[in-house]
Structure 1
Amino acid sequence: MTLNLILSFLLWHLLLLAAGPSSPTPTHAAAGQWTFLNPNIGISAMHMQLLNNDRVVIYDRTDFGRSNISLPNGKCRIDPNDTALTTDCTAHSVEYDVATNSIRPLMVLTDVWCSSGALMSDGRLIQTGGFNDGDRVVRVYRPCTGCDWEEIKSGLTQRRWYATNHILPDGRQIVIGGRRQFNYEFYPKIAGATTAYNLPFLVQTNDPKIENNLYPFVFLNVDGNLFIFANNRAILFDYLKDVVVKTYPEIPGGDPRTYPSTGSSVLLPLKNLQGLAMEAEVLVCGGAPKGSYTSAVNGNFVGALNTCGRIKITDPSPQWVMETMPLARVMGDMVLLPTGDVLIINGGSAGTAGWEYGRNPVFQPVIYRPNSPIGSRFEVQNPTTIPRMYHSTAILLRDGRVLIGGSNPHITYNFVGVLFPTELSLEAFSPSYLDSTVVDLRPKIVLPVSQTKLRYGQRIAIRFTVIVGVMAPGSSILAPAGYYLLFVVHQDIPSEGIWVQIQ
């Protein structure tokens, strides 16, 4: 028996009553299965986050006008700064219950358009910045029954629009960049620290006309420093000393990969090299060639990039290894699966991110298998029928499915007479490891039970048909304190995950 144990960290993508939960309708295929979950959750899923109670917080910008779901009990949001409605009795955030396929409207007060966020060690979602009256706001959502958004009006020192958050080993979050913000700050603040810190790398990667370095890709390296990728370059950054400790080579070809030339990125599963060292690799896929945004503004939609770059960020002299995807893609999402494979999904094959600037939806997801030989790592999957363009999202669920939502390339909600109507539906994509033909091979974790608390370096007995001992991560540098999904993988078939809290 081959056994792998994977810990997946889940950070960090309306008339008046939404349609109730529908009976899921599966569509079978050889490579993956699509299930239509709900035709109308009331809002377009611009951002989604799974919490450790198996609820998904979903939110959209507040200044689209009325949504398709009412706030409960006659509540209304009164906002004199809103550019669409100063009095709005509809919701722009909902909570999705995975188990019952149902939704609950939530009240978010300030504009979360192109905001950012991450989970704290206690399971709270910290959501920061946005547009207009939301650009300095910190919002908190707790995974508890009946809870709603809490908002801290001046929680940030700088305006943050298109920034990136990452949890740190000490439990704080770092908030990096944003439009016209070449700096970073922390949340929560250390006593007396009320300023932002300059990050010249964000100036160096900025094109003033296009700002091609927004939503930078940020990952915690195994040495405790941060890998930061913006535009077409990357650094290793010591945020404790405020110094760049390594500059990585420019990605071959030099084309931008961050917003609005929006590619996607993931930190691949860490590798323990026979106890000698930990190896970390980053994968960056898709995006749009130089000049694509300006071309799209002028009505010329340039073909998206069809390449991925992979780099061992722990190497003394790291170099990019380039690979060709079977499908070009911009505005795609990447999801790390329980098997350690990567799902690349959503987006288009021409144009860029931005209102009306994307074309040619890519209906087929692709699975990337990082441990297969180069040249045979990509596998095209069964297509959906729904375009998922600008502002679409994808997240992993505990049962191994991937939840898909969103797509609204318009500055308001628009359902008729447009290339890509505003999309209010939710779907789920089930990789082939959930096929009925392999259900008998699927392991089941008996012990530990879900919500088990673990200590760093603790030996864990994992029981299914056998008992296997494994070690929890050794430090908060390898895995910051928080809730993780634990899966057992046997012959490339994962169990359902259980929640564990490392503390």
Structure 2
Amino acid sequence: MFTGGEWRILQRSIGISAMHMQLLHNNQVVMFDRTDFGPSNLSLPFGRCRIDSNDIALKHDCTAHSILYDIGTNIYRPLMVQTDTFCSSGAVLPDGTFIQIGGYNDGDRTIRTLSPCITNDCDWIEHHGYLNERRWYATNQRLPDGRIIIVGGRRQFNYEFYPKGSGDDNTYELNFLRETNDRQENNLYPFLHLLPDGNLFIFANTRAILFDYRRNQIVREFPRIPGGDPRNYPSSGSSVLLPIQFSVNPGRFIEAEVLICGGAPQGSAARALRGNFVLATPMCGRLRVTDSNPAWEMEQMPNRRVMGDMLILPTGDIIIINGARSGTAGWELGRHPVTIPVVYRPNEPSNQRFLLMRAGSTARMYHSSAIVIPDGRILIAGSNPHINYSFTNVRYPTELSLESFSPPYLAPEYDNLRPRITACPEIINYRQTMSITFSVPEYRSARQVSVRILAPSFTTHSLAMNQRMVILRVVEVRQVVMWTYEITAVGPPLAEVAPSGYYLMFLVHDGTPSSGTWVKLQ
């Protein structure tokens, strides 16, 4: 069943292939690729050039490999990045500063920062050699105390923290990563989620653990995901922590569920190198990690997919977008682009959760990315399945375009049900009661209204890091005047449920979301 949605090209070319993307709280998006595969199609301004004797492709480069895109104006400008950001990670600090972590070659121990600005003078600041270890294909997670934990990477079976100077500057071994590292290294970009009890869910290859990073201790090991198919890079499935809803009683146990979908079967990379492109798995695994005896619930997607991106929509549903039907991640190793997004509805009966969306026309293969933006659209860019920028004589040319996908909830027929936030606090506190005013032409009932906060993701390589949705407790909804209502809600109970920082607040009325409003949780 195809249920709609609308595709739109925003820019035919942004000059770079957006391998990595992060939404900032000033409604700008930072995008970047890598610095060492030749010149991009976007020049640096004012005659600036990057001089890098360590670069393996171009030691004198006057083109940009990063941009800052403004959603409201659909305008972008080049940024200057010095060291190689290839296959790196990122997170946003509580104050809104974007922290970019590691990469390849001369960038593998580098930390880069970008502070949001309303002028055109903000740019990358780089701190070379800051990291204890090389962080190439590492994953990170924001923690309740405001730090970032950085886990794994190629041949790195350990973790460390950012920032230093907080009394914890060391590197800590995590033998679980060594155990799950096969010859294809199917534990790169491990899936990492902060759970409401303060521990971490870590998934690598086919195994998952509950990990207490404060004590460097594995609390428990979960059952292996059924089927035996690895899900991490280069098999490149995707993972999401489903929306968290906390109880009326702040002391009551809070449930958490993880969803993992897609990926390439064991041995797919080696077989693709020989020209045999194995079909991706159509299977998803869902695990309620807070159960006393958790077991995977397996579900089949309508289509097979490797290198797909999973994002939490304002409604709390999950969209799966981008990727391929066969092959695996890596240079020239994917085949048969999947251009049909799928929406997964976690609260529906198990046989009614998947909906097929309208197909796009652009192949988004290896090194594509996607994020949710404040108006509820999905921003999609990238695809660079080749070592260099290759636009001709290749099966899937390097893709420089930027486009959006509007899910069906943005269709005009839902405008009468769409709430519009007219007033809400800019700062919200834990356990704080707050009032939000909204208008809606066709109000249904208080039972049809919910308040959600969404932490935007850093998306790269099929993994949306630090993505998180918390559904707030609603106390009451009352009418103020015609078409205008006031909803009283309560902020998250703990930083373990929602780490401090910037979130998009959405109201959802009868399945139709408002546009997001930025709030700062502290």
TM-score in terms of structure 2 length? 0.89
Partner of 1:19: none
Does 2:416 match 1:416? no
Where does 1:456-495 land on structure 2 (aligned, <5 Å)? 456-464=430-438, 465-495=484-514
For residue 441 of structure 1, report the CA deviation from its aligned partner: 1.5
For residue 273 of structure 1, report the CA deviation from its aligned partner: 5.1
The answer to whether the 8 Å contact 1:273/1:279 transfers is no
For residue 242 of structure 1, report the CA deviation from its aligned partner: 0.5
The answer to whether the 8 Å contact 1:257/1:287 transfers is yes
Q: Kindly, what percent of the aligned residue pairs are identical?
A: 59
Where does 1:93-108 land on structure 2 (aligned, <5 Å)? 93-108=66-81
Partner of 1:425: 401
Structure 1 stretch 377-386 or stretch 143-152: which is displaced more?
143-152
Does 2:315 match 1:342? no
Does 2:289 match 1:270? no
Does 2:348 match 1:329? no
Where does 1:89-488 land on structure 2 (aligned, <5 Å)? 89-144=62-117, 145=119, 146-191=121-166, 193-207=168-182, 209-272=183-246, 275=249, 276-448=252-424, 452-464=426-438, 465-488=484-507
For residue 193 of structure 1, report the CA deviation from its aligned partner: 3.9
> 1:467 is aligned with what amino acid?
E
> 1:378 is aligned with what amino acid?
F
> 2:193 is aligned with what amino acid?
F
| Structure-2 separation of matches of 1:181 and 1:265 | 21
Partner-residue secondary structure (3-state), 1:403: strand
For residue 191 of structure 1, report the CA deviation from its aligned partner: 5.0
The answer to whether the 8 Å contact 2:111/2:126 transfers is yes
The answer to whether the 8 Å contact 2:199/2:212 transfers is yes
For residue 440 of structure 1, report the CA deviation from its aligned partner: 2.1
Listed one character per residue, the Cα deviations across residues 203-236 of structure 1 (whole Å, up to 9, x for unaligned) are 11110x2100000010000100000001011001
| Structure-1 separation of matches of 2:34 and 2:328 | 20
> 2:384 is aligned with what amino acid?
N
Partner-residue secondary structure (3-state), 1:73: helix
Listed one character per residue, the Cα deviations across residues 54-83 of structure 1 (whole Å, up to 9, x for unaligned) are 000000100111111111111111110011
> 2:114 is aligned with what amino acid?
Y
The answer to whether the 8 Å contact 1:484/1:500 transfers is yes
The answer to whether the 8 Å contact 2:161/2:169 transfers is no
For residue 375 of structure 1, report the CA deviation from its aligned partner: 1.0
Listed one character per residue, the Cα deviations across residues 240-279 of structure 1 (whole Å, up to 9, x for unaligned) are 0110001100000111000000000100011335633211
> 2:45 is aligned with what amino acid?
P
| Structure-2 separation of matches of 1:109 and 1:315 | 46
Listed one character per residue, the Cα deviations across residues 86-114 of structure 1 (whole Å, up to 9, x for unaligned) are 11111000000000111110000000000
| Structure-2 separation of matches of 1:467 and 1:278 | 27
| Structure-2 separation of matches of 1:395 and 1:348 | 18
Structure 1 stretch 176-185 or stretch 310-319: which is displaced more?
310-319
Partner-residue secondary structure (3-state), 2:202: strand
| Structure-2 separation of matches of 1:78 and 1:270 | 47
**How many residues were matched structurally?**
472
Does 2:10 match 1:37? yes
What is the Cα-based RMSD across aligned positions, in Å?
Answer: 1.0
Partner-residue secondary structure (3-state), 1:474: coil
For residue 165 of structure 1, report the CA deviation from its aligned partner: 0.7
Listed one character per residue, the Cα deviations across residues 134-158 of structure 1 (whole Å, up to 9, x for unaligned) are 0000010111132100000011000
| Structure-2 separation of matches of 1:63 and 1:392 | 17
For residue 84 of structure 1, report the CA deviation from its aligned partner: 1.1
Partner of 1:24: none
Partner-residue secondary structure (3-state), 1:201: helix
> 2:350 is aligned with what amino acid?
I
For residue 455 of structure 1, report the CA deviation from its aligned partner: 1.3
Where does 1:60-71 land on structure 2 (aligned, <5 Å)? 60-71=33-44
For residue 190 of structure 1, report the CA deviation from its aligned partner: 3.3
Listed one character per residue, the Cα deviations across residues 26-70 of structure 1 (whole Å, up to 9, x for unaligned) are xxx951111110000010000000000000000010011111111
For residue 368 of structure 1, report the CA deviation from its aligned partner: 0.2
Partner-residue secondary structure (3-state), 1:228: strand
Unmatched segments (≥5 aa) in structure 1: 1-28
> 1:421 is aligned with what amino acid?
P
